[in-house]
Each structure stands twice: as C-alpha cells, then as structure tokens.
Amino acid sequence: MHTTLHKPAPTRMIATGEATAILPTETTPPIKVIGTEAIRDTFDDVCLQQAINSRLAPGVTDVVLNPDAHLGYGAPVGCVMVSPTHIYPGPVGVDIKCSMSLLQLDVPADVIEDRQTRRALISAICQRTPTGAGKGQRSVKKSRPVNRTLGKQLVVEGASESVCQQLGIPVDWADRCEDSFHLGHDETRDALGNRLEVLLAQRHMSNFSDKMSQLGSYGGGNHFGECEVVHVGDDDRSRSVAETFGLRDGKVAFLSHCGSRGFGHNLASGQFKTLQHKFSKWDIPLPAGDRQLVYAPLGTSEADDYLDDMALGANFATANHLLINALVLEAFQEVLPGTTGSLVYFISHNIARKEIMDNRPTWVHRKGATRAFPAGHYALRETPFADTGHPILLPGNPRDGSAVMVADAGAEQACFSVNHGAGRTLGRRHANRVLDQATIDKEFEQHDILSNCRFYPKDEAPAAYKDFEEVLRSVKTAGLASEVARLKARFVIKDASKADD
C-alpha cells in the first residue's frame, strides 16, 4: 500500500523457460521469476515494483519472485532477498518465523470417516489450541502454564531440552526442525538474554507475560490447523523419500500454520518504528523511497538489535509450533486412546538465515518463501535428510489439498527456496465483497470437510487463493522441487471470530 510507483508500470517479464522468467531492471542484474505464464499473469504492478525496489536496495545481491507472490510489506510476500552486508526487517515480515509443521499420526484414514469422531477431535483440539487475535491459553493454562520465568527461558533458548521437558514436548522433535533454536547476533545465547532485559525495560514490552501466555495458540488471518489424510505418490522416489520423512500413506496427519503471535509482532513493529525513526533523523535515503524497506548494515548496533529481536521472536514461534503439535497429539489421544504421533518437520517461511552461497556467507531473507535444500546440501549433513533433502510443507487450500515436496538440484537457481503456499489472488476486502458465503460453505460440505467455523471466513476461502495446481506445476516445471505426497483435508481449525457472528 505504501509502495510508491516511481516509474511507469514495470517492464514485461521475459520468459527463459516454461516456468521461469526474468524481470529486467535498468541498473542491476535481472530478477529471477518462477512461474508459468498463467502464474506470471497474476503478478500485479505493485508486487513487481516491490520486487524491483528490493533488488535495487543497498547490499542486495539477489531477488527471486516465487509463483505465490503478492503484495507485501516492502518486499512481496513470496520472494527471496539475499544480502551479504545488510539486514532488512520488512522482508522478514511482521510475523517473525511464521511457519508450517506436520504431525504424522498412526491413525488409519477410515477411523476419522465418522463425522462424530471428527467433531470430537475439533472440540478437543480447540480446547487446547485457541484461535483468534489476542487469545491466549485456555485449558492449556492448567496443564502447561507458561509463567514469566519459563517465557524468558523459551525466548532465549527456543526448543531446548529443558524447555521441551517443561512444556511436555517430546525432546526428539527438535531434530525435526529447520532450526530448533536461534542464537543472538554474535552467535551466543547470552546476547539474547541481555537484549531481552533491555526490551523488558521498554514500555511496549510491558505485556511480556501476557504474550508468553499465548504460547500454544494459532492466532488469526491465514493461520490454521488442518487434519489431513496422507497420499504418498506411487513412484519409487516418492515412496522412498516418504519413508525417510516419516510419512505414512493412508494415515491421518495434522498440518499447522502459525508464527510468533503478539510477541513477534511487538518485536517486528518495534524494529520498523526504531529504524524508520533513525532513517528520518539521520536523513538516510530510503530504498526506492519506501520506508518499509528500512535496513541495518551488518556490524552496526542497529543490525545487532534486529538480529537479536528476530531470534527472540523465532524462538517463541518454535516453542509455539512444537507445543501446538504436542497439544494436538494429546487431543487425538483423548478422542482415540493409544494414538501415537511423530513430527515430520517444522519449517519457516518468514525468516532471515545466514547461509553459504557461492562460497561465502550471506543473509537469505525468505518472505513467504520456504527453504529448499536438496540431497547433499552441506547444511543437511548432520540431519536425517542428508541423502534426500528436507521436507517442504506447502499448504494449498482445503478443497484442493496441500503438498509435501522435496528439493531438486534446480533449487539452487532460486537461492535454495520455493514458494510457501498458493498465494493470495483476491485481497481480503475484495474477497469479502465478491465471494458468496453459501457457496463456500456448500463446497466444504460437498467435499465432506468439517470446520470449527459455522461460517468459513470468506477472505480465507479457496477462491481467494491462486490455483494451487498451477503453482505446483510452476515449481516442478522450473526444476525446483518434486512432489512426495498430497494431503487431503478432513477438517479445518480457523479463527472464526470475524465470520462466525
């Protein structure tokens, strides 16, 4: 919204393959675009202008626009921005370490065919993992209290052994995380403890204890929990990779999407304000005139503070996701005694990570983009996924399903990243105006997908998102990743507070 169009509408993209293109700019190397022609037609001018602004911003060496790209804060949602020298809070986003996680259960699909069973599961899950803005813990409070002391520990340590034990999270789930913890700017834990004390003295952090009590909650917007049936692809590679991932064909799994809740929002918005104020006070030119693209050069105290805040928020998001998965498993066990479950993976799409690219360390900002390291990548050496690549969790929509993918060698051309889902095609306001409630709810009924919402939010309806098949086709055709399994929705947990009145 704040992005200004300095130039006339961006020049047209030039196709370099069936699902790849470049977006030329006047003064820098071209931006890489992933998407078939049909997908490239979905990018509006402001989204493309944000990509160009990001590419021209100081210290940026690479930008990739993914098929799910749409308007974001400074940079498009659905892009990768790389810089060895500068950190950009906007292109991480307001929901620090917003992520996906997938819990594989040993429940055969036919056990949840019965609608009463699914209703009981919805109820048991909603009791434990609330949705909606500001909603903290409900019954969770009794079994998993998060007091100030534990809160301070978990934002500094992430999913450490001690934190997991106190929260009732299986300790070995930490091995199934893209990152189970985040360190401070100097790669120590102490830096985070010190930064936290500074933050706690500030007025906008006076609600710290309240924010900690939100642990184990989904929030609103596009966040969700979804019960799935796993359909592993019937080729040899899919079957073999699925086994390494711990996916079980024909069984139930649970997919979650949420982030760092109010705590991460406080940290991110605090950083936007601080940096925007400094740019203004010191009269530093804004990249493309866009205050959403304020940055900090690495090595400055401003960059140190941002990296520490990002890590604190990321640690909260990590503990939040793992606790949600533990609570979902507990809910299944209440309804279906004896159920066991294991975490397939937990992976973010809103984070900046230090990675080695072209033999040098650089900061990869993934803004609505998912890390995609293929088999043999150096960073997977010590993980269960060294020989396959790690799981990539891609939410589509309840009607058309979601996908588990694995990176191919071609992911390197996209800075080892893929999209993070389908991507919006209708803005929220537009969707609420043009979509019909009865049609949406009837469609869920036709597909026998239950929900905790009496009326499914219109701005979250499948029709508000891009064609998932075309998005997946883009990723596959560009050679970035291959499909391992499809997830078919059986019920959905969403924030119903806006639609359900």
By the rule CB under 7 A, 221 interacts with DNA: yes
By the rule CB under 7 A, 384 interacts with DNA: no
* Whether 350 contacts 92, CB under 8 Å: yes
CB of 96 to DNA, least distance (A): 10
What are 108's strand-pairing partners?
251
CA distance linking residue 226 with residue 343, whole number of Å: 15
Interface positions, 170-209, toward DNA (CB under 7 A) = 207
Tell me: is residue 225 an annotated ligand-binding position.
yes
CA distance linking residue 237 with residue 251, whole number of Å: 19
By the rule CB under 7 A, 431 interacts with DNA: no
Q: Which one is catalytic: 2, 390, 420, 430? A: 420
Tell me: is residue 321 an annotated ligand-binding position.
no
CA distance linking residue 377 with residue 385, whole number of Å: 10
- 3-state DSSP helix/strand/coil percent for the chain, to nearest 5? 40, 25, 35
Residue 17 burial (CB count, 10 A): 11
- Interface map 231-260 toward DNA (x if CB under 7 A): ---------------------------xx-
Tell me: is residue 494 an annotated ligand-binding position.
yes
Three-class SS state of 154: helix
Tell me: is residue 420 an annotated ligand-binding position.
yes
Residue span binding DNA (CB under 7 A) among the ranges 20-28, 174-182, 262-270, 311-319: 262-270
By the rule CB under 7 A, 287 interacts with DNA: no
- Residue 157 tokens read as 């340590």
* Whether 264 contacts 313, CB under 8 Å: yes
* Whether 227 contacts 325, CB under 8 Å: no
420 included as an active-site residue: yes
- Residue 260 tokens read as 């760092």
Binds DNA by CB under 7 A, chosen from 248, 265, 365, 490: 265
By the rule CB under 7 A, 273 interacts with DNA: no
CB of 230 to DNA, least distance (A): 24
CA distance linking residue 391 with residue 484, whole number of Å: 9
Which of these, 424, 421, 495, 493, lies nearest to 457 by C-alpha position? 495
* Whether 91 contacts 310, CB under 8 Å: no
Binds DNA by CB under 7 A, chosen from 98, 336, 403, 493: 98
CA distance linking residue 54 with residue 290, whole number of Å: 10
Closest CB to DNA among 25 and 266?
A: 266
By the rule CB under 7 A, 134 interacts with DNA: yes
CB of 144 to DNA, least distance (A): 19
* Whether 105 contacts 472, CB under 8 Å: no
Closest CB to DNA among 141 and 442?
A: 141
Tell me: is residue 93 an annotated ligand-binding position.
no
Tell me: is residue 223 an annotated ligand-binding position.
yes
Binds DNA by CB under 7 A, chosen from 219, 225, 389, 462: 219
Binds DNA by CB under 7 A, chosen from 76, 78, 89, 220: 220
CB of 220 to DNA, least distance (A): 4
Binds DNA by CB under 7 A, chosen from 68, 95, 302, 483: 95
CA distance linking residue 216 with residue 493, whole number of Å: 14
Question: 3-class secondary structure for 71-112?
Answer: CCCCCCEEEEEEECCEECCCCCCCCCCCEEEEEEEEEEHHHH
Tell me: is residue 421 an annotated ligand-binding position.
yes
CA distance linking residue 159 with residue 154, whole number of Å: 7
CB of 448 to DNA, least distance (A): 25
Residue span binding DNA (CB under 7 A) among the ranges 19-27, 126-134, 354-362, 477-485: 126-134
Please report where in the chains the tokens 């026998």 appear, as a residue.
Answer: 448
CA atoms within 13 A on the CB side of 499: 26
How far lies 258's CA from each of 131, 167, 223, 252, 400, in Å?
A: 10, 18, 5, 20, 20
Binds DNA by CB under 7 A, chosen from 262, 389, 391, 396: 262
Residue span binding DNA (CB under 7 A) among the ranges 112-120, 129-137, 409-417, 485-493: 129-137
CA distance linking residue 91 with residue 73, whole number of Å: 7
CB of 45 to DNA, least distance (A): 21
Closest CB to DNA among 263 and 332?
A: 263
By the rule CB under 7 A, 497 interacts with DNA: yes
Residue span binding DNA (CB under 7 A) among the ranges 28-36, 108-116, 172-180, 219-227: 219-227
Length of the chain equals 501
For the annotated binding site, the residues are 95, 222-226, 257, 349-350, 402, 420-423, 494
- Positions touching DNA (CB under 7 A) are 94-95, 98, 132-134, 207, 210, 214, 219-223, 258-259, 261-262, 265-266, 269, 497-498
Q: Which residues are catalytic?
A: 420
For the annotated binding site for Mn(2+), the residues are 95, 223, 257, 349
